[in-house]
Each structure stands twice: as structure tokens, then as C-alpha cells.
Amino acid sequence: MMPKQNKDDFVSKQGHKIRVRRIETGDTPLLVDIFDHMSSDSRYSRYNQTLDSVAPVRIWQEAIQIAYADADRNQGLIAFTDLPEEPAVPVGAARLVETAPGEAEVAISLRDDFQNMGIGTQLMRLLALDARDSGYNTLTASIRNDNPAIWRVFKSLPFEVIRTPEGSFSDVTIRLERPVVSEQ
């Protein structure tokens, strides 16, 4: 299904027109496609475990769970771009899952061939703004310390980000009620 133009659409650093919309029921194959275009290293960074020999049925079950999640406790965004021979290719997704009233855990996944283009940064920013507008005060994540790309994403957010190292991981807290004033 072709995503419609909306206010959250943007252009990547490399000039790709990126269209963004909420994750919907029926997006299962799109989420699987993003996963299938992630390398072993990217999957490990995203899921904090090796996922090289996962049965396809498990991947589909997880994608179904995301696509059909309870909208009152879950939010998600999916990004698309057009490629020369393939329109509306899913390139990334960001989502949150409520863990307590006013608090949610966040995660982001990007195809390898669309990393380092600013897409993850924009998706996480849009997700954080949506979360704030939906009444969330705090977003959390557990991130590997050796993942510089995700640290750049979190540092670029317009909110206070608190990092608490715990061995090879850090717990991250994003305070949505504490905007960061950018220095000009």
C-alpha cells in the first residue's frame, strides 16, 4: 500500500524522499522485509542477541505481534522510500511499548542499506514527539555501549537523555517533559 504524503515526511541526507506513517494492521510483511534487510550485526545491535538462525515462522509471529499490537499501549512509525524498480520500499520502523503509566520502552530498526542517512534520527525524533503528545513523560531503552549510531540518534533528540552504564550496556532514559534548548 502506498503511504500518503504527510507533515512528517522528510528527505534523507542522501536525497531519498522518506514517507512516514503509523504502523498499521497488515504491515506484517513490511516489518519482515525490514528485518530481512538487516545484517547479523544490525540485528544484534537492535535485539541484543544473535538472530542468524531464527525460524521464519518466529520472525512472522513477532511482526504480526507488532502490527496488531494494542494501540492504547503501543505506537509505531514506519518509513518508506521509492527505489528505481520498486516503489514504497519499507526502510525502517520505530516503536514504543508502554511499560508503566506515562513510560514506554523504545526501539528502532533500519535496513542496512539505509543506515547513516539520518532516517533513524528522524524516526526516533518523530516517535518521541508523538509519545510526548500522547501523554508519555519518559522513554527508556537498553543500548549496547559499542553502538555509536544509536548514541548519535539519542544525542540528537530535543529532550534530556540520561545514560546509566551497566557493563556492556547502558540504560537510557529520555525525559520528554525536559526539552533541550539547542545552541545557536
Angle between the N-to-C axes of helices 119-133 and 148-155, in degrees from 0 to 180, rounded to the nearest 10: 50
Q: Which of the four CATH numbers 3.30.70.890, 1.20.1270.10, 3.40.630.30, 1.10.3720.10 does domain 10-179 have?
A: 3.40.630.30
- In the sheet that 169-179 helps form, which strands lie side by side, from edge to edge? 10-11, 17-22, 74-83, 86-100, 103-110, 138-144, 169-179, 159-166
What percentage of the chain's residues is helix, strand, coil (to nearest 5)?
30, 35, 35
Q: Render pLDDT for 69-120 as a digit per residue (tens, 0 to 9).
A: 887 788 999 999 999 999 999 999 999 999 999 999 999 999 989 999 999 9
Fill in the amino acid letter for 157. Answer: L
Task: Give the residue extent of every domain in the chain.
Answer: 10-179
How high is the pLDDT of residue 51? 55
The helices-and-strands tally (H runs, E runs) of the chain is: 5, 8
- Decide the pairing of beta strands 103-110 and 138-144: parallel
pLDDT band at 2, cuts 50/70/90?
very low
Fill in the amino acid letter for 172. Answer: V
Fill in the amino acid letter for 16. Answer: H
- Of 61-65, 94-98, 117-121, 134-138, where does mean pLDDT reach its minimum? 61-65
CB count within 10 Å of CB 55 equals 8
How high is the pLDDT of residue 184? 47
CA distance 6 to 9: 6
CA distance 79 to 93: 6
CA distance 171 to 122: 21
How high is the pLDDT of residue 48? 52
Residue 55: strand, helix, or coil = coil
pLDDT band at 3, cuts 50/70/90?
very low
Give me the mean pLDDT over the 132-136 stretch.
95
- Is the Cβ–Cβ distance between 172 and 140 less than 8 Å? yes
Q: Render pLDDT for 11-52 as a digit per residue (tens, 0 to 9).
A: 999 999 999 999 998 999 999 998 887 876 766 566 554 556
